[in-house]
């Protein structure tokens, strides 16, 4: 999974280390991202999101959904996953047979 914040969209940035003699060496800056389990009260469920520690402060103030909307993030990142497995297909056949 990518090292990217769900709320702010911050990710890894590339640039140069510049020495005293102005020699340039390529380097990367990694964003401080943690995996956090957050409870959505209106949906009564837990979601696991990758969030930067800076956005975590905003999250405590505004809530997850409002913070994502304010920063222009994608709400689909916290939608529940729809799993289609072998067991669900056989259960659908049994229910349609009745």
What is the rounded CA–CA span in Å between residue 64 and residue 47? 10
Chain mean pLDDT for the chain: 80
The predicted structure's pLDDT at residue 96 = 56
64-78 per-position pLDDT tens digit:
878 777 777 666 667
Q: Is the pTM of this model over 0.75?
A: no
Q: How far apart, in whole angstroms, are the C-alpha atoms of residue 48 and residue 78?
A: 8
* Close Cβ partners of 3 (under 8 Å, ≥ 6 residues apart): 11, 12, 30, 31, 33, 50
Render pLDDT for 30-56 as a digit per residue (tens, 0 to 9). 999 999 898 888 888 888 888 899 888
Is residue 5 very low, low, confident or very high in pLDDT (cuts 50, 70, 90)? confident
């Amino acid at each position: 999974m990518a090292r990217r914040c769900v709320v702010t969209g911050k990710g890894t940035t590339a640039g140069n280390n510049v020495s005293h003699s102005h020699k340039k060496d390529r380097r990367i800056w990694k964003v401080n991202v943690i995996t956090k389990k957050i409870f959505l009260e209106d949906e009564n469920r837990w979601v696991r999101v990758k969030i930067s520690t800076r956005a975590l402060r905003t999250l405590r103030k505004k809530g997850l959904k409002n913070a994502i909307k304010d920063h222009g993030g994608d709400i689909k990142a916290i939608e529940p996953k729809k799993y289609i497995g072998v067991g669900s297909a056989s259960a659908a056949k049994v229910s349609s047979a009745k």
